[in-house]
Every structure is written in C-alpha cells, then in structure tokens.
Amino acid sequence: MSEYSAPLRDMRFILDEVANFDVISSLPGYEEATPDLVDAVLEEANKLASEVLAPLNQSGDEQGSRLENGVVVNPEGFADAHAQFVESGWGSLPFDPEFGGQGLPFTLGAPLLEMWASANMGYSLLPLLTQGGIDAIGHYGTPEQKATYLENLVTGKWSGTMNLTEPQAGSDVGAVKTKAEVQLDGSYKITGTKIFITWGDHELSENILHLVLARLPDAPGGTKGISCFIVPKYLVNEDGSIGERNDLRCVSLEHKLGIHASPTAVMSFGDNGGATGYLLGPENGGMRVMFVMMNNARFGVGMEGVAIAERSYQHALAYAKERVQGRVVGGGQDAAIVDHPDVRRMLMQMKALTEASRALAYYAASQNDLASHHENEVAREAANDRLALLTPLVKAWSTDIGVEVASLGVQVHGGMGFIEETGAAQYYRDSRIAPIYEGTNGIQALDLVGRKLPLAGGATVGSLFAEISGTAAELQNGDMAEVGNSLALAHEALVKATEWISTGHVDDPRAQGTGATNYLKMFSTVVGGWLMGRAALAASRKLAASEGDAGFYKAKIATTRFYAEQILSQVPGLLSAVTSSSEATFAIDPEQMTG
Amino acid sequence: MSEYSAPLRDMRFILDEVANFDVISSLPGYEEATPDLVDAVLEEANKLASEVLAPLNQSGDEQGSRLENGVVVNPEGFADAHAQFVESGWGSLPFDPEFGGQGLPFTLGAPLLEMWASANMGYSLLPLLTQGGIDAIGHYGTPEQKATYLENLVTGKWSGTMNLTEPQAGSDVGAVKTKAEVQLDGSYKITGTKIFITWGDHELSENILHLVLARLPDAPGGTKGISCFIVPKYLVNEDGSIGERNDLRCVSLEHKLGIHASPTAVMSFGDNGGATGYLLGPENGGMRVMFVMMNNARFGVGMEGVAIAERSYQHALAYAKERVQGRVVGGGQDAAIVDHPDVRRMLMQMKALTEASRALAYYAASQNDLASHHENEVAREAANDRLALLTPLVKAWSTDIGVEVASLGVQVHGGMGFIEETGAAQYYRDSRIAPIYEGTNGIQALDLVGRKLPLAGGATVGSLFAEISGTAAELQNGDMAEVGNSLALAHEALVKATEWISTGHVDDPRAQGTGATNYLKMFSTVVGGWLMGRAALAASRKLAASEGDAGFYKAKIATTRFYAEQILSQVPGLLSAVTSSSEATFAIDPEQMTG
C-alpha cells in the first residue's frame, strides 16, 4: 500500500514541454544534459527513491529521531540509506564541478528533489538543507572557505543546517539575539540558543556545518545588524581533517505533528565560552546570505508540497482501485471505489492539483538555469526576475496543495484513512509543516505583493501576463476553446486583482495585507492553468503527430480540462476576497473577538 | 494556552435570534425552558466543560486509551469526569421524563454537545453514541425493552455503541455479514466481527449496550436483509440487575490519527457460540433503526465540526494576542501578531466559519423540536423535511469547516503550531475524523442531491430558497446592502446549480455524483450566509434599540460582512465545478491515471 514509484512520464513530459528542457540543455555548460542522460538520471533516482528511501518512510515516522545521552539517534536504516545517497553522488548533481559537483542543470534537480521528498520527506530535509549551505558558501564564501567546506558539502560527506529562529525571532528574523564576538585570530565566538533547527544534530555525517545568524557587538538593531557565521560541529584542521568538537550541542528535539524522522533541534551555542564561527559574507550582511540559502530552500519546500501531493495521490489511487464497495451508476454491485463519481472526482482533483504544481515548480526551476547560464544578460535578468516572481507561488501554493491533496487522500480511504497503519494519515501530518517553514505562506503572499509585483517597474508581471493571454488565445482558437475561455476569464480577474492590490488600495494601507493570501491563490491558480494549458497543447500536438504515448497525452488533456472546469473556474470568485477593504477584517477589537 | 470557555454570548444569541428559542420554548411540553433556565443550563455546562473536561483533553490525547489483558484502560481522569457528567444528569437533558430524562428541547442540547466536543472531543463521543442508542430504542423498542434499557442509558449509567461497520462493509452497509440466529426463548445468537466501534469497550459505565446490525438466515441480500439487535456487554437479569458477561469482546484498539482518548474497537461477537442479542425493530428493518441512530449522530458529528473549530479559534486567538513579532502597518515594532493583517484575516476566517456553522447547526436543531413538538401537523412535517434537508449540510459542511479552521489554527501559530505540546496540532488531527464517520461527506452530498432535494416534490427546498431571498431583500433594503447583494448573487448561483443538478444532467447519469460535493458546499455556504444575515439583522435591531451588549452586536455585524465579502462571494465561482459534465472526471481510464 505504501509503495512509491516516481511519475516518470509526467516528470519527463513537464521537463520537455513546460520547462523547455531542450533550451536548458543547450545553454553553455549544460551540454552534457542530453535526453539519454536525463532518462538515466531519472530512472536511477527512482530506484533509490522507490527501493531505498520509500520503504523507510513509515518506519521512520513510527520510530522518529530521538536524543539519547546527548546523541541524536535516527530511525533504523537511515544511516545506510544516506550512505547510499552520498555514495551515488545524488547531492552533487547541480553543483559546480570545481567543488565536486556534476554541473547539471538545476531544472534536472527539481524532479530529484520531488522524488526524495515523495519517498521520504523526513529524510529529504537532510540533503535539502545541505543545498542551502552550498548555495550560501558558494555565493559568499572566501576562496579559503570554499576550499575548506564546499566539496565536503557538495559530495554529501558533511551536511548543513540553517540556524535562524530563536524563541523571540521567528518570522521577524531581525529580533535575533545570538551574539558573535571577534577573536584575535579573526574567528568569532558565538553564544546563543536557536530553535527549530532541522537535522540540527545527527550521526549520519562526519561533520555538520551550521550557518548561524548572530549579532556583532554594537551592530544596528533589526535585520541590518545581523551577520552570518559558519559554525562547524567539529572544527576543521588546516589539512582539512576533522578536529576538535566545537562548543555547541543539541539540547533537545521537538515532539512534532509530522516529519518525525527529521530531528528538529534546539541548539545551544557557547555553553563553555563560545562556539567558534567564521564570518560568511560581509559584517551585518547576514540577511543577504540568508536570502540566498532561503531562496533555494523556498523552492525546495515548494517541491515538498508537490512531492507529498504526488505520494498521497499514488497511495489513494492504489487504494481506490483495490477497495470494492457498493454499486455504481451504470455498473453492477461490487465496484471498485475508483468508479464512484465522488471518489473519482477527489482523485482527479488530487491529480490535477499535483500536476499543475509540478508544472509550476519545474518551470520556475528552468528560470533558475536561464538566470545563471544564459549567454544574454537581458535574458538572464528577465529569467531571474521571473524566478523571483514565481518563487513565492512555488513555495506557498504548492505547499497548500500538499495539505489539500493529503487531506483528500485521507478522505478517499474512508475510515481506513484515519488509521495510522494505512499510511495516508502520515502525509496529512507531514504535509502540514510545509506552509509554515522557510517563511510562512502568509509571508510569501506579502513578498509577492510587496516585493515581486514591483519588479522591473511592473514589467516582470506584465510580460508573464502577456504570455498567459497568448496561451489562452491559442487554446480558444484550437479544439480546447473551453479551457482557453476558463483561462481567459481567470486571467481577466487576476488582472483586476493585480491593479487593485498594486495601486487601488492606497487609502487603505492594511488592505494589501488582508488581500495578499487570496491574491497569491488567484495568481498561482492562473499560472498553474497557463502551464497546464501549455502542456495540453503540447500533448495535443503529440497526438496529432501520432508520437509516443497516446494514453498519457489524452490523460494530460483530460486533466487540464478538469483543472479548467473545476479549479481555474473558481478564480473569478476570489476577486471579492482580494479587493474588499480591510475594514471588516479589522472592525472588531481583539478583546471583542471571543464569543 | 489550551484553556476553553464556551462562547456563551454567541450561543445564547444564536439560540434566541436564529433558532427562535422563544418559539421553541412555547411549544407544548417545553414550557420549562425559560430564559433563566437556559442561562443556568449553559453556565453550568460551561463549568463542567471548561473546568473538568477541557483540562483532560491534551493528557487524554497523549495517553490514549489502550487494551491491557483484555481490558480497555482510559486516560487518567476520564472515569471521574464521566462520573461527574452522569451525576449532574447532562446526558438526560433532551429525553423523555418517563425514562429519566429532563424533557428539555433538543435545541438546548446543541450548545451542550458543542461544549463537550470543544472541551474534549475524544470524551464527548461516549455520551454522543449513547444518545444514538436512546433514540433507536426510544423509537423502535418494545415496552419491555424500553423499561429494561432506556432509563439506564438516559441517566448515563450505561452507555451505547453503534456496531455497523465490518471490514468489507463500510459505506456499503448492505454488505454486512454478521449473523443472527433466533433461539427458543426468542433471543438471538450473534456471531461476527465489527470494526471502528467508537467507545466499543471501556470501564466507565456499568454496562454497554451494543446496537448491532446483523443478518438473519435466509434474509434477502443487501440493505433489505439487515436487522438490528441490542447486544448488552452484560446480560440484564429480570430484576434489572447486571447479570453474566455476554459472549463478546474487544479484540484490539486502533492506532489513530486523532481522538486518541476515544477507544476505537474491533469487536468480536460469539467467539464461544454466539452473543445473546434482542431484535430491535422489525426483522429486516435494521436500516430504518440505523437511520434513527444515524440521523442524530450525523447532527452530533456536525456539532463536532463546529466545536473543534471553536476550540481551534479560541486557541489561535489567545496565541495571536500574546505573541509579539515584528512591526505592523500603522503601528510600531513589537506588535502582537493579531494586528498583522494576514493573521487577523485568518482569525476572522476562522471566526466567520465557526459562527456560520454554529448558526446552521442550532437552526437545524430547532427544526427537530418543531418536528416533534409543534401542535400543527403541517408545521411538524415541514420542519421535519427542513431538518432532513439541512442534516447533510450540518454534517458535511461543519466538519469540513472543522478541518479548515483547525488547519488555519496551526498556521496562526507558525512553527509552534507544528509542535504537539502547543495543542493546535491535536485539533488538526482530531478534526480529521469528522468528515469521514457517520457517512462520509461524499455520502452526505449524494444524500442531499439524491434524497433531500426531491423532498415534498421540491417544496422543501423551494420554501427555504424563498426565505433566503426574503432575507437578501431585507438586507439589500437596509444598511447592509452589500451583504444582501452578496447573498442574492450567491443564491442566484445556487438556484442555477439546483436546477442543473436536479434535472439538467439527465443525459449524464454520473454528473449528479461528480457535482454533489461542490453543490453541497454552495448550498451550505448560502444557508450559512442567510443565517449570518439574519443574525446581523437582529444585531442591528438590538443596536438601534440600544439593548444589551453593543460590542458583541457590532462584532456580529462585522463578522457577517467579512463572511459576505470573503466567503459567500466565492459561491458563484463554484457553479462551473458543479455543472460541468462528468466527462473530464471520467475521461481517464484508472490504469492511465498514474504519471
């Protein structure tokens, strides 16, 4: 029941037809990413995901990670699985060959992130956080820091963490109190407590590099006074070998709703005088370093949403095909529940949302490669801005979808869905963290309206909207007119909402905040519809040319129709929720809010 | 943080202004239900809920119920709490004084059900299931059966269970295989296994009456061949005293996502030759008995949705008022997060949904009293039909709201929401069962479109729609025109959806099934808007007359505006999802549904 197999057909199709992988693989430096290599990578990754990681998902949830005598003990099998992951070089795929990476496109990394998280979300956070560390050190490290740390992170020999949150500093990172004091040798002594540190301590890696946000003496208040430090669990000797234990420790692990396999640590730095750390990036420039870590982490968390949706869907579909119950319209007694209209509708809802969120994520990943590897600077900048625009959508919409689809997955199972052994409940629990961490989905919505809509003076959003209109017209003029109409209507509502949230609310400064979440939902649903529409057009061309897997292409078109009729069609209905004033929301004094 | 206090102001207001409690208390037999008595009952119930039941909610979740050497051990404190519940007579409130009841209105029972479930959902299932048994025996029991069992159930001395489900018989009750064979003394020997039996075994009551669906030899297949039996845990001697142990036992307890305090049992009947049971109702008439149990149980489960939403809301509001983080528009640094626009929006969404679902449930409860106690037969029938129409809405919509609000509650807490100790995660887990049991929400939607819309040749739904139009017009003509407009637009879309789902789909027999769930959502959201509109009109009258609690009335009006702008406004956007054909939903062969 809890088997997983990567949706290779859809992954490959989305890479090719939505993320334009042929363009990506023709970028300078990506020539090795041939179609054959892509197939081989996806198939090998699926083996690890389905045969090694997935079978440990439920036992990892049951056993959890625990702290015993100061040592974090991970669930059975995780050490071996991680060793295989590292040995096969999966962590190194999109990174610079100079530091042990394989130099393959970031876009190709997207289906891999999806597979790891589908197979075993708790485990997948270990390489995900390590990626954040690689990005940060890759961008901001000195040559010496890169030489000392990067290869060990890229190969997966060492792992990385992000130490941002403190009890009083959650979404408000500027409230961080951890202290850093410079030493005579240029290093720093770090003192403070960090919470919610994912894979904050464990024995699966030889060393752990903590990237820690802290405050220098006399630093300005708020986010402008935060610096970032590399604080290794074990200090590194000059020859690169592992040295003595640093002054930091895991104080406790949290008892969480889900992702039990992943140890979420309270970390104490400097109980004995100060942990040794090394400044990464400029003094008081920690927020910039954090955003580099965070941006890819946000993308990665968005992939978790896609991944948990896919896993829930596979689980529910398998159950619905097996479980016999009752009679169906036009059929006999003893029908599989997949043939019951309301169950089939739930499964199609799960499938359509999962595929749309996958299309969005892979497409966004392709913008990352264009931004880093395109020969043309204007093209690089445009891709960079489009990626910036889409990142809050990937993070927030996909993770909301993860929760919605996991909840539908429980429902498809009926009473069995509520029984832990069935496995569906774990996805419902695991999925719930993703809308919260790496910037809550509310923060993403504020980022979209406050920072991303104004990009390039509005040109970033404008060019995207123009492409969406184009696809709507193409659909309307072809044999998917109703999909095109649905997209056009939804897009029209989105344009109105955009005008309002950009400029229409000037007399009501809170309205951008009260409208942001529903605005993000409108925006994402339209972008999802646009990419599903593009996928359906491609499938239609393939069918007309009698190329390849007709069953799959027909399914893609049907799923797009379902999406247009049942999901995209709801977008205009959200307009009022976005464009109402903040008055009703703020009319009640909090003291009068109880019944 | 996990304190609970019943929302007495809203409960009382909804009873008076939405459920028209003055009319209910003037019905023959209900004269005792004076305003003073209602106040006293609500206040006393709140004491038990907030001081006795609520403090056991989290420990009950942590400890769970477990099976030890064949005995079900409940969490600490539950036995005492139940003893207090029984001693104070809370279980007997709405029942016939002839059998130990207090003869008070069913409507007054609604806020009580809400309080028990808000305070401790796991515990509240024990009296809820007992109520189902009382209803069934009250309707179908012989005078002797009533004399033997009813008073002990009504007083709460004994408890009741519903034994319906078997591994192969979930939603399809007709597939039940448990056997019943008549004995010379007129009793029956029951043999079979039942699963998912809520409070199926425990030591809190002296005796447990299992109402068991089973099949007589040579009974027709399917639902027409099912009979209902009273199968006591301990046989009852002629003098009413407890006799020998019956041949039934709890085989195991399920390991569940939530409601851990409530033991969910696998029950085995007749391991040693057959459990002794007594036919309740006619031979092969078990489904009718089940529907009597089920109907009130469906109402009760709907109340669980309201209840868990209220509890989640209180928890999140308390946190949001305390938790300081960041700066807000127009305010300084160190704002409580309740003042952040997106957080306030989430809280208002929680509040509006909770109050709307409460209004619906209490209003439906009032129809129950009108149906049973009105002097006029036509009025009784109309109320009975309206109750029948609204019951699937109460069950499905309120429980979906329970899940949505509990999930928002987690989100308001940010990272702390994912930590079990915080308590918000428990509501997210507990709430998830309610859309499943007592008929999945999909089944409720099919019941609505298949059985309830046709009631009285369409007159039942027609008269409700006429009242909704009237309220919309009243709002439009007053100073809440925008609420009225929103209600009118939503109602118009609902009328279109109703026409389509009643008759428009004739060439597409599956379309009623694929559209039903979204139709139920449209219908419920409109009815919720209608009742919120009525509440706002009443609040407006109170304000104009300078009566009572102005802060509360203003809040009710603001909440209704929020509901109209942000929730009701989405109803027209659901029309396409309801009225699309089933074609896209069924276009893909299940074998092609994987990626």
B440 contacts A582? CB cut-off 8 A: no
Q: To the nearest whole number, what is the mean pLDDT of chain A?
A: 96
Q: What was the pLDDT predicted at B427?
A: 98
Please report residues of A whose CB lies closer than 8 A to that of B257. Answer: 410, 418-420, 425, 428-429
Report the percentage of chain A scoring pLDDT > 90: 95
A438 catalytic per annotation: yes
Give the Cα separation of B376 and B27 in Å (integer).
Answer: 10
Q: What was the pLDDT predicted at A595?
A: 84
Q: Which residue of A has its CA nearest to B595?
A: A7
Q: Which of A175, A257, A566 sits opposite B580 (nearest CB)?
A: A566
- Residue B43: Cβ within 10 Å count: 11
Q: To the nearest whole number, what is the mean pLDDT of chain B?
A: 96
Q: What was the pLDDT predicted at B409?
A: 98
Contact (CB, 8 A) for B268 and B193: yes
Q: Binning pLDDT at 50, 70 and 90, where does residue B333 land? A: confident
What are the structure tokens assigned to B58, written together? 């989290």
Amino acid identity, position B342: D
Residues 126-145 of B with CB under 8 A from A: none
Please report residues of A whose CB lies closer than 8 A to that of B343. Answer: 442
| Largest CA-CA distance found in chain A, in angstroms, rounded | 83
Q: Which residue has the tokens 């054959």?
A: A36
DSSP H/E element including A9? helix A8-13
Give the Cα separation of A106 and A513 in Å (integer).
Answer: 33
- Residue A223: Cβ within 10 Å count: 16
pLDDT at residue A2 tops 70: no
A410 contacts B432? CB cut-off 8 A: yes
Q: What was the pLDDT predicted at B294?
A: 84
Contact (CB, 8 A) for B432 and A407: yes
A254 contacts B342? CB cut-off 8 A: no
Residues of B recognised as catalytic: 438
A514 contacts B344? CB cut-off 8 A: yes
Q: What is the mean pLDDT of residues A463-467?
A: 98
pLDDT in tens, A47-56: 999 999 999 9
Please report residues of B whose CB lies closer than 8 A to that of A418. Answer: 254, 256-258, 432-433, 436
Q: What was the pLDDT predicted at A296?
A: 84
Interface test with B, best of A514, A520, A554 (most B CBs within 10 A): A514
Residues 159-218 of B with CB under 8 A from A: 165, 168, 170-172, 174-175, 195-196
pLDDT in tens, B119-174: 999 999 999 999 999 999 999 999 999 999 999 999 999 999 999 999 999 989 99
Please report residues of B whose CB lies closer than 8 A to that of A572. Answer: 572-573
pLDDT in tens, B78-116: 999 999 999 999 999 999 999 999 999 999 999 999 999
CA atoms within 13 A on the CB side of A538: 20
Is the CB of residue B20 less than 8 Å away from at least one CB of chain A? no
Please report residues of B whose CB lies closer than 8 A to that of A588. Answer: 348, 554-555, 558-559
Please report residues of B whose CB lies closer than 8 A to that of A344. Answer: 514, 585-586
Phi (first) and psi of residue B33, to 5 degrees: -80, 65
Q: Binning pLDDT at 50, 70 and 90, where does residue A42 land? A: very high
Q: What is the mean pLDDT of residues B434-457?
A: 97
Interface test with B, best of A198, A346, A418 (most B CBs within 10 A): A418
DSSP H/E element including A215? strand A208-215
What are the structure tokens assigned to A268, written together? 């104490």
Q: Which of B341, B437, B510 sits opposite A415 (nearest CB)?
A: B437
Interface test with B, best of A11, A162, A411, A556 (most B CBs within 10 A): A411
Pairing relation of β-strands B208-214 and B159-163? parallel
pLDDT in tens, B408-440: 999 999 999 999 999 999 999 999 999 999 999
Q: What is the mean pLDDT of residues A294-321?
A: 96
**CB proximity list for B120: less than 8 A, separation 6 or greater:** B49, B53, B54, B56, B57, B60, B81, B261
Q: What is the mean pLDDT of residues A58-72?
A: 97
Q: What was the pLDDT predicted at A249?
A: 98
Q: What is the mean pLDDT of residues A369-387?
A: 97
Residues 319-338 of B with CB under 8 A from A: 320-321, 324-327, 329-330, 336, 338
Give the Cα separation of B499 and B517 in Å (integer).
Answer: 16
Nearest to A5 by CA among A40, A55, A41: A55
pLDDT at residue A1 tops 60: no
The catalytic residue among A166, A304, A355, A438 is A438
Task: State the DSSP string of A306-372.
Answer: HHHHHHHHHHHHHHHHH-B-S--TTS-SS-BGGGSHHHHHHHHHHHHHHHHHHHHHHHHHHHHHHHH
Q: What is the mean pLDDT of residues A112-127?
A: 98
pLDDT at residue A362 tops 70: yes
Work out the burial of residue B181: count CB atoms within 10 Å of its CB; fewer than 13 is exposed, 13-18 middle, 19 or more buried: middle
Report the percentage of chain B scoring pLDDT > 90: 95
Please report residues of A whose CB lies closer than 8 A to that of B566. Answer: 518, 576-577, 580, 584
Contact (CB, 8 A) for B54 and B4: yes
Compute the count of residue pairs across chains A and B with CB atoms less than 8 Å apart. Answer: 304
What are the structure tokens assigned to A98, written together? 């100079």
Give the Cα separation of B418 and B371 in Å (integer).
Answer: 45
Give the Cα separation of B284 and B66 in Å (integer).
Answer: 35
B410 contacts A586? CB cut-off 8 A: no
pLDDT in tens, A230-284: 999 999 999 999 999 999 999 999 999 999 999 999 999 999 999 999 999 999 9
Q: Binning pLDDT at 50, 70 and 90, where does residue B330 land? A: confident
**CB proximity list for A191: less than 8 A, separation 6 or greater:** A178, A179, A181, A269, A270, A274, A275
Is the CB of residue B76 less than 8 Å away from at least one CB of chain A? no
Q: Binning pLDDT at 50, 70 and 90, where does residue B2 land? A: low
| pTM beyond 0.95, yes or no | yes
Q: Which residues of B319-357 are buried (b: 16+ CB within 10 A; e: fewer)?
A: bbbebebbebeeeeeebbbbbbbbbbbbbbbbbbbbbbb
**Helix %, strand %, coil % for chain A, to 5?**
60, 10, 25
Is the CB of residue B478 less than 8 Å away from at least one CB of chain A? no
The length of chain B in residues reads: 595
Is the CB of residue A29 less than 8 Å away from at least one CB of chain B? no
Q: Which of A174, A256, A555 sits opposite B592 (nearest CB)?
A: A555
